[in-house]
Chains A and B, each alone.
Chain A
Amino acid sequence: MLDYLLNGLALGAIFAFIALGYTMVYGIIKLINFAHGEFFMFGAFLGFFVLRDLGVERLPLPQPLPILLSYVAALTAASLGAGALAVVTERIAYRPVRRAGRIAALITAVCVSLILQNLAIKAWGAKPQAYPQPREWIDTDDLAGAAPANLYAVKRVETTGGEVVENEVRVVEAGAALDDATRARLRAEGHERVYRQVPLDRGWTRGFVLLALLLWAPVLWFLVKRTRMGKAMRAVSEDSDAARLMGIDINRVIAWTFFLGAFVAGVGGVAYCVSYGKVEPLTGFLPGMKAFIAAVIGGIGSIPGAILGGLVLGTAESLIPYALREGLGWEAAFAWKDAIAFALLILILVFRPTGILGRAVREKV
């Protein structure tokens, strides 16, 4: 139960990271930025490349500092990259339709989302790729002492094209034992090295996302409430024409909002893929939708609302299926968690469209 609650909170924190960008952009230009999930995916891919190229899989496990530093590098690259993509997207796709009405802008956003998804498929392939994780390397001679779980063996193989690639095979499933015959076979087949996949401790990843959220929430609050740019953002959100008349450069403010929202989503992207162990071009779609739901639950346009909504949605997505499974004996409940999230969205929209922390706006007729 506690385990499910913590899982839910950690997932919720990731939703919150993405929801922040939705809510900030919506607050300022009343656009549901459908492509926000793709900024998140882009960030996750950049983090993937950094982790892979820094060779986090090869770093010696007992020393945590280099590993920690590579994760920091990955997060930085992901955030900056996602932010940059958001600024470019805003400039190319959203600025021309800003005056064309909300529906036109929303359709454009849907299109941008699909275009980015498919460009990512073209660039990086549609297949999910394993997110690099720290591994524990074991000397082949030391195999006798190796703990019998999740062992992989690596062999260098020359392909027909003359390229040298590392071939990995799973030697021992989790929980099984490594017997002498297998050991002999591995050596005979010329496997140079053996490693054990060390799944990042769930406690660690959970702690990391929650801590990051705790760290980021005040920073964002400060940026929006206490800086000049934040003041300008709030002014544009309230009345963009009046803000322009007061000499605020609206385009800069909007670009900055997009950047900030996507920057935070980049953090969420890496965190999400580290917890789920893989990345693919469609990574952004579902978490993006969920984060939007989170933003609506919390009250779209409100920054504390996004965080609260994310945590509420993550917890609900974890605890409701848990309760259904334990209480009603419905084994398949977890397969339905996405449907639960969407049902929650419809309920919230129907009964309290302003969300938990949103303000009701009276429409003038």
Chain B
Amino acid sequence: MSGELLFWLNLLVTVGIYTLLAVSLNLINGHAGMFHLGHHGFWALGAYAATWLTLNAASLPGPLLYVLSLLLAMAVAAIGGLTIGIPCLRLRGDYLAIATLGFGEIVRIAVQNSPHDFLGGSLGTKVPRVLMEVTRTTQVPFRFLTLAIVAVACAAAILVFRNFLRSLPGRRLLAVAQDETAAGLLGIDPTRSKVLAFVMGSAVAGLAGGLYAHYMGGINPLNFNFMEMVKMFLVIVLGGMGSLSGCVIGAFLVVATEQLLNRAPEAIASWWQVLFPLILALMIVFRPQGIFGRKEITDMIRAWRRSPA
């Protein structure tokens, strides 16, 4: 019974982390219309920053350290987003995709080659537990606690992004995404709008990285590979580029499929690696707008209420 509970808790926490990754990627790729393929790099930056602080400030009280490490994760990822964003965001389309992919790979190579006593290098490192003691018997409360934190983080991120998109800078961003030249002619600075979105997105990816590191209790450079990037992409394509609630549904579909398949015999489970790129390709060809398109779940409920039964 406890095993079953642990499985579903783990699934939900993972869904939450992927939701954070997806909404942030969605802000950049969906709403801002940039083609960014290096999100796994920001995720890794966040995870490593949080790990670094946790390892080096062990004297602080646990919950404070937890919060501080998450803030540092967001800050480091945001600075990474700024550094890579300012030069790269002048590029468009597939060139931007390749440049950001290059950045993601640089991050992976950098952590893989870090000295073993610094961040564990290619072997990765353990992250000390700061919230509570995690043993076999306390797994369930630990996962419940993490789930609550991740759920709050997701809700906060979605709320912030929703309000941002309704604010003046957000509207500017949407204008730039629709037609950069026209927006520029209206007096909007496209690069500034795009860098803003990029930095916000990378900060949230960093937050996801910090939460992930604390939840897993250890990180490894191999966790942050290009495959994960494609998986995030599948989440936003399934949910619908430009829909925040789509991200949640997409994340649930992808993570649940993966983890349920993982319980199947190895011969079936290993097909997941073939299956998910295939689903992504088919979605791109047959329903590029995803399940939700640009709509939000709240829009649909409203429309459904208005229509006479």
Return chain B residues, CB-CB under 8 Å to A335: 109, 113
Q: Interface digits, B92-118 against A, CB 8 Å rule (1 contact, 0 not)?
A: 011101110011011001100100000
Return chain A residues, CB-CB under 8 Å to B300: none
CA distance A110 to B101 in the complex (A): 12
Task: Tell me if B93 and A346 are in contact (CB < 8 A).
Answer: no
Return chain B residues, CB-CB under 8 Å to A343: 102, 106
Q: Interface digits, A337-360 against B, CB 8 Å rule (1 contact, 0 not)?
A: 011001101100110010000000
Task: Tell me if B94 and A102 are in contact (CB < 8 A).
Answer: yes
CA distance A110 to B233 in the complex (A): 11
Return chain B residues, CB-CB under 8 Å to A97: 284-285
Interface presence of B227 (CB below 8 A)? yes
Interface presence of B252 (CB below 8 A)? no
Task: Tell me if B281 and A107 are in contact (CB < 8 A).
Answer: yes
Task: Tell me if B105 and A346 are in contact (CB < 8 A).
Answer: no
Interface presence of A263 (CB below 8 A)? no
Within 8 A of A (CB), among B33-91: 35, 37, 84, 87-88, 90-91
Task: Tell me if A102 and B93 are in contact (CB < 8 A).
Answer: yes
Interface presence of B273 (CB below 8 A)? yes
Q: Interface digits, B198-229 against A, CB 8 Å rule (1 contact, 0 not)?
A: 00000000000000000000000000000100
A350 is contacted by which of B37, B91, B270, B277 (Cβ under 8 Å)?
Answer: B91
Task: Tell me if B88 and A349 are in contact (CB < 8 A).
Answer: yes
Return chain B residues, CB-CB under 8 Å to A118: 273-274, 277
Task: Tell me if A108 and B285 are in contact (CB < 8 A).
Answer: yes
Q: Interface digits, A134-154 against B, CB 8 Å rule (1 contact, 0 not)?
A: 000000000000000000000
Contacts A110-B277, A122-B270, A335-B113 given; does A349 touch B94 at CB 8 Å: no
Interface presence of B280 (CB below 8 A)? yes
Residue of A nearest to B226 (CB): A285
CA distance A73 to B47 in the complex (A): 49
Q: Interface digits, B253-274 against A, CB 8 Å rule (1 contact, 0 not)?
A: 0000000000000000011011
Interface presence of B167 (CB below 8 A)? no
CA distance A104 to B283 in the complex (A): 10
Shortest CB-to-CB span from A152 to chain B, Å, is 29
Residue of B nearest to A115 (CB): B277
A100 is contacted by which of B93, B227, B284 (Cβ under 8 Å)?
Answer: B284
CA distance A119 to B270 in the complex (A): 10
Interface presence of A111 (CB below 8 A)? yes
Task: Tell me if A353 and B93 are in contact (CB < 8 A).
Answer: no
B102 is contacted by which of A107, A122, A342 (Cβ under 8 Å)?
Answer: A342
Return chain B residues, CB-CB under 8 Å to A106: 35, 94, 97
Residue of A nearest to B278 (CB): A115
Question: What range describes how many residues of A lie at the interface?
Answer: 35 or more
Return chain B residues, CB-CB under 8 Å to A115: 274, 277-278, 281
Return chain B residues, CB-CB under 8 Å to A350: 87-88, 90-91, 99
CA distance A346 to B278 in the complex (A): 29
Most buried by A among B35, B90, B106: B106
Number of B interface residues, CB 8 Å? 36
Return chain A residues, CB-CB under 8 Å to B131: none
Interface presence of A103 (CB below 8 A)? yes
Interface presence of B293 (CB below 8 A)? no
Interface presence of B181 (CB below 8 A)? yes
B288 is contacted by which of A104, A112, A289, A365 (Cβ under 8 Å)?
Answer: A104
Contacts A115-B274, A338-B109 given; does A108 touch B181 at CB 8 Å: no
Residue of A nearest to B281 (CB): A111
Return chain A residues, CB-CB under 8 Å to B113: 332, 335-336, 339
Contacts A111-B230, A339-B110 given; does A100 touch B285 at CB 8 Å: yes
Task: Tell me if A346 and B87 are in contact (CB < 8 A).
Answer: yes
Q: Interface digits, A95-138 against B, CB 8 Å rule (1 contact, 0 not)?
A: 01100101110111011111100110110000000000000000
Return chain B residues, CB-CB under 8 Å to A303: none
CA distance A350 to B88 in the complex (A): 6
Task: Tell me if B233 and A346 are in contact (CB < 8 A).
Answer: no
Task: Tell me if B233 and A345 are in contact (CB < 8 A).
Answer: no
Interface presence of A32 (CB below 8 A)? yes
CA distance A191 to B104 in the complex (A): 50
Residue of B nearest to A285 (CB): B226
Contacts A122-B270, A122-B274, A332-B113 given; does A103 touch B98 at CB 8 Å: no
Contacts A111-B278, A112-B281, A115-B278 given; does A349 touch B95 at CB 8 Å: yes
Interface presence of A48 (CB below 8 A)? no
Return chain B residues, CB-CB under 8 Å to A121: 273
Task: Tell me if A336 and B94 are in contact (CB < 8 A).
Answer: no
A96 is contacted by which of B91, B181, B280, B285 (Cβ under 8 Å)?
Answer: B285
Task: Tell me if B277 and A111 are in contact (CB < 8 A).
Answer: yes
Contacts A96-B285, A108-B284, A349-B95 given; does A114 touch B273 at CB 8 Å: yes
Return chain B residues, CB-CB under 8 Å to A342: 102-103, 105-106, 109
Residue of B nearest to A348 (CB): B99
Shortest CB-to-CB span from A270 to chain B, Å, is 25
Return chain B residues, CB-CB under 8 Å to A339: 105-106, 109-110, 113
Some 28 contacts from A to B, beta carbons below 8 A apart, are: A32-B98, A93-B281, A100-B284, A100-B288, A102-B93, A103-B94, A103-B97, A107-B233, A107-B280, A108-B281, A110-B37, A110-B230, A111-B281, A112-B277, A114-B227, A115-B277, A292-B98, A296-B98, A332-B113, A335-B113, A339-B110, A342-B103, A343-B106, A345-B102, A346-B84, A350-B99, A353-B91, A365-B181
A residues near B (Cβ < 8 Å) are: 32, 93, 96-97, 100, 102-104, 106-108, 110-115, 118-119, 121-122, 289, 292-293, 296, 332, 335-336, 338-339, 342-343, 345-346, 349-350, 353, 365
Q: A32-B97, A104-B288, A350-B88 are in contact. List 8 more A-B contacts (CB 8 A).
A: A107-B233, A108-B281, A108-B284, A108-B285, A114-B273, A118-B273, A342-B102, A346-B102
Q: Which 5 A-B pairs have the closest CB atoms?
A: A111-B277, A342-B102, A111-B281, A114-B277, A118-B273
